Amino acid sequence: MSTELQKAKHLVDNEQYELAISSLENLNELPWKEERYRLLFLAYSLYMVKRYNVAIDTADKLLLMNRNNEYASQIKYLSYFELENHESALNEIISFLSYNEANLYKVTLEELLVDIKNGNISEENTVYKIQELALRNNVSL
């Protein structure tokens, strides 16, 4: 990992998100692997400073490079949730888990099953899809 990217990661690790964003936005022409880290650190930092729309766009760029990056998908999911766009949040998790196994999302699937049980999610197709994804990923209440 390049020195500049390591410095940016250190800023993220120390919750200096605005400084990390400035640093990460100015990094150019990185090798493919490092660019993925840059986008992940940037999306996370943007989420942490409540710039949710930009975090979503940045996570999308990372998912175009690596569609099985669960961290990027979760940043999108959480950003949509914070924007109170619950439909897009659910669509993100459903879309991601339609192609990938859950790891970090196992806890989220458990929470969604509780929401279904409590009647907070009632749209039939969404309920069915979440239950299917939970079953496929060995998640239950």
- Output 119-127 pairs: Cβ under 8 A, ≥24 positions apart: 121/90, 126/90, 126/94
Residue 96: inside a domain, yes or no?
A: no
C-alpha 96/C-alpha 84 separation (Å) is 19
Tokens of 55: 């975090």
**Can you give the pLDDT at residue 28?**
87
pLDDT class for 29, splitting at 50, 70, 90? confident
Q: What tokens appear for 95 in the block?
A: 């879309």
Please provide the distance, in angstroms rounded to a whole number, between the alpha carbons at the two ends of the chain.
41
Range of the domain at 11: 3-85
Alpha carbon of 28 to those of 4, 34, 37: distances in Å? 10, 10, 13
Question: Is there a single domain that holds both residue 68 and residue 121?
Answer: no
118 and 66 part of one domain: no
Residues 36 and 80 in one domain: yes
Q: Is the pTM of this model over 0.85?
A: yes
* Residues 47 and 11 occupy one common structural domain: yes
As given in the structure block, the two tokens for residue 111 are: 């929470």
pLDDT digits (tens, 9 = 90+) for 48-100: 999 999 999 999 999 999 999 999 999 999 999 999 999 999 999 999 999 99
Q: What is the pLDDT of residue 51?
A: 98
Which of 26, 24, 25, 28 shows the shortest CA–CA distance to 9?
24
For the chain, what is the domain count? 2
Residue 11 lies in a domain: yes
